[in-house]
A and B are shown apart, each in its own frame.
Chain A
Amino acid sequence: MKTRNVLSGLMGATVLAAGLGATPALSADITITMAAPDWPPTRFMKEHFDQTYQSPDGNNTTLDMDFIPWPSFYERVAASLTSGEQKYQMIVTDSQWLGAFVEGGYYLNLTDKIKEDPELQAIMQDLHPALVSAYSTYPHKTRAQLEAMGPAPAEGVNYYGFPQFPDTYVTFYREDIFCNEGEMAAFQAKYGTNLPCTYEDWQDTDWQKWGQIGEFFQRSAGEMLAGETLADDFYGIAYQAGKGYDFSTMAINAFIWQQGGDIWDESKMPDAQAEGVVNSDVAVAAFEEYLSYLQYMPPVAQTGQMDIFVIQDLYMQGKVGAIIDWVGLGEPVLDPSASTVSDKSAFGPAPGTRKADGSIDRTGNIGGQPFVLTTWNSDEVVNEALNVVKWWLSPDTQLAATANGGQSGLMSVMAMPEYNGLRPWNRAHVEMIDWQKDVWHIPEFFELLTQQQEEFDKAITGQISAKDALDAVAEFQQELLEDIGFIE
């Protein structure tokens, strides 16, 4: 750690200012320490910052990234914040953490800054509204609410975060088997519909077909697959059904939303209910459908441990034909040293629920992380941090980030003609981002999440039914939320 803290930076600035006398632009040595999970999108940010960042205010700015291993990231940040360590000026955060740490007084409300700064306003308006809703607002405003309120900064909305890495679910699939003529013909013969091979085919794939794919490709060792004998069991499909963190919730929410059900909707507080909503018949049916496809997935599905990494590994080791996973986990699939299917993979939008009009609803739970500023910094540091935000969300930086495995949240960047070609999943990502919603942002989200994951896990491992699980979830949420006054 280059331990030059903010304070000494400021003192340096004072001395420097005194020496320069009347020079209007004050320049200072500023260090911004940023808590970041240790993975390529943040490593890129650091490297690219060192290579390109020029402070518009002439400051000598250092971005000091504290790279923390992903699995321990939450603990490290939470301990730092709640203990009042005040170590970080910027923090990469999951969108769900916004409530807890805003209420704790740790994350900086940027609404006034945005109001004062046209550049920031332009950025906020260029950000995809789904991302503004999920990554920036607390109390949480839905995309629909934001759009009704007018351009950012809208009155009555508090803004906090900016996308560091916006993430969505897309389908990773094996082009070699999905476009195999024999398999295609067999599938057609068996189900009377086509096996999705092209991107456009996947645009027309719903959960029903997803299940058919699963059934179709479930093969044992010794059977044939795309003209070759299988040495090991093979499975058609996998999506996440993991107990850890938010894994199964992310996938199940998509089913519930797509079928017209809902989770407890904090944006309608205090009128929104849990009981009767969370365990509505629609939600139960959606959850049952989610569970019904698990039988076609690799046996780890029975353990409740089939998380985003497990399905990625199963896919990369050639054990499964198609998976639904985060775009952020796409890079290794293309890396021949980690993946046996690096040259056989293609990407499409995630399946959805077919509506009455024949269109497909792909509503999903957004992934990825925003980053935020903290509350204990001087104006000078805050302003310089906002300079870093502007640098990060400039089209050049965003394009470079995308080319290096990142994703942009700026609509203008996503609309650039070269964008879809930068990475093979970009087209799917751009299509999917329009469908994104987010789970709760309230401080108690972890209590809701943990209990829900536990009940989901019981249903996934076959201990209880979908209805029992959702009933238990609804009862728990109703009681907890009434307790803290979020439900009247």
Chain B
Amino acid sequence: MAELATDNLGTQGAARGGFGAWLLDPKRRGALLVTPAITILFVMNIFPLMWSFGLSFFNYKASSPRVPSFRGLSNYERVLTDDKTWERFQTTAVIVGSSVLLQLIVGFLLALMFAKAFPLRRIVLMLVLTPMMLSFVSVGVFFKLFYEPTFGIVSYVMNLFTTEKFVMLGSPAGAIAGIVIADAWMWSPFVMLLVLAGLVSVPKYLYEAAEIDRASSWRTFWTITFPYIKSLLLLAILFRTIETFKLFDIVYIITEGGPGSSTETIAVFLYRNAFQFFQTSRSAALAYIVLFIVIVLTNLYLYAVNRRAQEAN
């Protein structure tokens, strides 16, 4: 009761009167609480984003001392009319699509497996969760080694079954598969966790009722399990799609975009433009096109989250 209005969150309570009182007015409490987060975000994230957004309208090259001049939308025009951009988007779509699909399937099956309680589940679950904790670099390096035709264990095992030498990364399709497998291996556990969270949220009595009602496991799955996890699956798709869109290290290490340019994703293309070609402005324009796509995906994602929240209510 002795604690009066000065006792607000985020302050040490001493300020009274003047600016202090103004600041601590309960009307501003929300704004005050948000301030530290927004400040950090602004300085570390939003400012650089605006900087590069501004750049996308100039002809700036980071390697050149020339004063950049304003070019309006010409960078966007150039990026959007470049055949390579569309090729890279196609490659990215194929890799993102197949990787996310594989993650969903594997993650989903793993989740079904771990939905039951069994002895040592905590330990066995850790075996499956570990890939997520590795760095992209080490996953890339070791999968590349696994695929290596002479030294790789994958090649060795495959060679036991074929007479032709197994050369995983020798064709565009094989290289895409190699990347997709590595990425999906690493991130399927993430999908698994999402789905598992959905599965464990299904009340057990529904399964008991279905058992008493003698429902087949197929019918049980579609009437009980699936409705509970479908929005989580959508969540998983969108979240993984957004993240896989940024996939860089694994591609760069395993294939460097090869053979030819068959695995060059947008992220690798962006890297080359920004960091190797020093097309700073053009790459900023490309990045904003990517961001636009990602924002569309994010909106879908939020829609999914909101729907999930509504269902839970």
Q: Assess A/B contact in the complex (Cβ within 8 A).
A: yes
Binding site for B on A (CB under 8 A): 75, 78-79, 81-83, 100-101, 103-105, 232-233, 243-244, 298-300, 302-305, 310, 313-314, 317, 319, 443-444, 446-447, 450, 454-455, 457-458, 460-461, 463-464
Query: B254-282 CB contact bits vs A (8 Å, 1 = yes)?
Result: 01111111001000000010011110000
Partner-binding segment picked from B163-171, B286-294, B296-304: B163-171
A305 touches B258 (CB 8 A): yes
Known: A100-B63, A101-B63, A302-B170. A461 touches B150 (CB 8 A): no
Which residues of B are found within 8 Å of A446, using beta-carbon distances? 272, 276-278
Residue from the list A100, A298, A304, A460 in contact with B278, Cβ < 8 A: A100
A313 to B150 alpha-carbon distance, docked (Å) = 10
- Residue pair A447, B260 in contact (C-beta under 8 Å): no
Chain A residue, CB-CB nearest to B155: A299
* Shortest distance between the CB of A218 and any CB in chain B (Å): 12
- Contact B278 A305, beta carbon cutoff 8 Å: no
Name the distance in Å between A105's Cβ and chain B's nearest Cβ. Answer: 5
Distance (Å) between the CB of A18 and the closest chain B CB?
37
Contacting pair A104 B277 (CB below 8 A): no
In the complex, are the beta carbons of B150 and A104 less than 8 A apart?
Answer: no
> Which of A233, A450, A461, A464 is close to B276, meaning CB atoms less than 8 Å apart?
A450
Contact B169–A314 (Cβ < 8 Å): no
The CA-CA distance from A389 to B277 in the complex, in Å, is 30
List B residues at the A interface (Cβ < 8 Å): 62-65, 144, 148-151, 165, 167-172, 175, 255-261, 264, 272, 275-278
CB-defined contacts of B277 to chain A, threshold 8 Å: 444, 446-447, 450
Is B64 touching A457 in the complex (CB atoms < 8 A)? no
Q: In the complex, are the beta carbons of B258 and A243 less than 8 A apart?
A: yes
Structural contact, A104 and B151, CB atoms closer than 8 A: no
**What is the CA–CA distance of A314 and B148 in the complex, to the nearest angstrom?**
11
Q: Are the C-beta atoms of A461 and B259 separated by less than 8 Å?
A: yes
Asked if A105 and B150 sit within 8 Å, CB to CB, the answer is no
Choice from B150, B259, B276 contacting A457 with Cβ under 8 Å = B259
Measured between beta carbons, the chain A residues less than 8 angstroms from B63 are: 78, 81-82, 100-101, 103-104, 443
**B150 and A454 contacting across the interface, CB-CB below 8 Å:** no
Say yes or no: A303 contacts B260, CB within 8 Å: no
For A458, the closest partner residue in chain B by CB is B260
Expressed in whole angstroms, the Cα–Cα distance for A243 and B258 within the complex equals: 7
Q: Report the number of A-B residue pairs with Cβ-Cβ less than 8 Å.
A: 102
The CA-CA distance from A103 to B63 in the complex, in Å, is 7
Residue of B nearest to A443 (CB): B63
Check B255–A299 contact: CB distance below 8 A.
no
Neighbouring A residues of B168 by C-beta, 8 Å? 303
Given contacts A81-B63, A319-B150, 14 further A-B contacts (CB under 8 A): A103-B65, A299-B167, A303-B149, A303-B175, A304-B258, A304-B259, A304-B260, A305-B255, A305-B256, A446-B278, A447-B276, A461-B260, A463-B259, A464-B260
Interface centre among B149, B172, B258, B275 (most CB of A within 10 A): B258
Is the beta-carbon distance between A454 and B167 smaller than 8 angstroms? no
Q: Are B148 and A300 in contact (CB under 8 A)?
A: yes
Whether A299 touches B165, Cβ cut-off 8 Å, given contacts A313-B151, A319-B150, is: yes
Contacts of A83 in B (CB 8 A): 62
Closest chain B residue, CB of each to CB of A81: B63
Residues from chain A with a CB closer than 8 A to the CB of B278 are: 78, 82, 100, 443, 446
Q: Are B272 and A450 in contact (CB under 8 A)?
A: yes
- Closest A residue to B271 by beta carbon equals A75
CB distance from B147 to the nearest CB of A (A): 8
Most chain A beta-carbon neighbours within 10 Å: one of B65, B144, B148, B172? B148
- A244 contacts B256, CB within 8 Å? yes
* Given A243-B258, A244-B256, A461-B260: A299 in contact with B150 (beta carbons within 8 A): yes
Contact partner of B260 (CB less than 8 A), chosen from A82, A244, A443, A463, is A463
Q: A104-B64, A450-B276 are in contact. Are A300 and B260 (CB under 8 A)?
A: no
Interface centre among B172, B260, B261, B277 (most CB of A within 10 A): B260
- Report yes or no: A243 in contact with B150, Cβ–Cβ below 8 A: no
**Contact status A461-B64, CB under 8 Å:** no
A137 to B264 alpha-carbon distance, docked (Å): 34
A selection of 24 A-B contacts at a CB cut-off of 8 Å is A79-B275, A83-B62, A100-B278, A104-B62, A104-B64, A104-B65, A243-B255, A300-B149, A300-B150, A303-B167, A303-B169, A303-B170, A304-B169, A305-B255, A305-B256, A305-B258, A319-B150, A443-B278, A454-B258, A457-B260, A458-B260, A461-B171, A461-B259, A464-B260
Determine the distance from Cα of A31 to Cα of B257 in the docked complex, in whole angstroms: 41
**Docked-complex contact B257 and A243, CB < 8 angstroms:** yes
Partner of B169, one of A81, A244, A305: A305
Report whether B259 and A298 are in contact in the complex, using a CB–CB cutoff of 8 Å. Answer: no
Give CA–CA (A463, B171) in the complex, Å: 8
CA distance in complex: A303, B272 (Å): 21
Could you tell me if A103 and B64 are in contact, using CB atoms closer than 8 angstroms? yes
Interface centre among A82, A317, A455 (most CB of B within 10 A): A82
CA distance A319 to B150 in the complex (A): 8
Looking across the interface, which residue of chain B has its beta carbon closest to that of A84?
B62
Inside 8 A of B258's CB, which chain A residues have their CB?
243, 303-305, 454, 457, 461
With a cutoff of 8 Å between Cβ atoms, the chain A residues found around residue B255 in the complex are: 243, 305
Return chain B residues, CB-CB under 8 Å to A450: 272, 276-277
Complex Cα gap A75–B171 (Å)? 29
A317 to B259, CA, bound (A): 25
Across the A-B interface, the 3 shortest Cβ-Cβ residue pairs: A299-B149, A458-B260, A461-B259
Q: Which of A100, A300, A460, A464 has the most CB of B within 10 A?
A: A300
A463 to B275, CA, bound (A): 28
CA distance A319 to B256 in the complex (A): 25
Q: Tell me the smallest distance from the CB of B12 to a CB of chain A, in Å.
A: 34
Q: Which residues of B contact A298 (CB under 8 A)?
A: 149-150
Q: Which of B167, B172, B260, B272 contacts A302 (CB 8 A)?
A: B167
Q: Decide if A314 touches B150 in the complex (CB within 8 Å).
A: yes
- Please, which residue of chain B has its CB at the minimum distance from the CB of A449? B276
Smallest distance from the beta carbon of A460 to chain B beta carbons, Å? 8
A233 CA / B260 CA spacing, docked (Å): 27
A78 to B62, CA, bound (A): 9
In angstroms, how far is the closest chain A Cβ from the Cβ of B280?
Answer: 8
User: Given the complex of chains A and B, what is the CA–CA distance between A303 and B171 in angstroms?
Assistant: 7
Assembled-state Cα–Cα distance A78/B276 (Å): 9
User: Contacts A305-B169, A454-B260; is A82 near B62 (CB within 8 Å)?
Assistant: yes
The residue in chain B whose Cβ has the minimal distance to the Cβ of A100 is B63
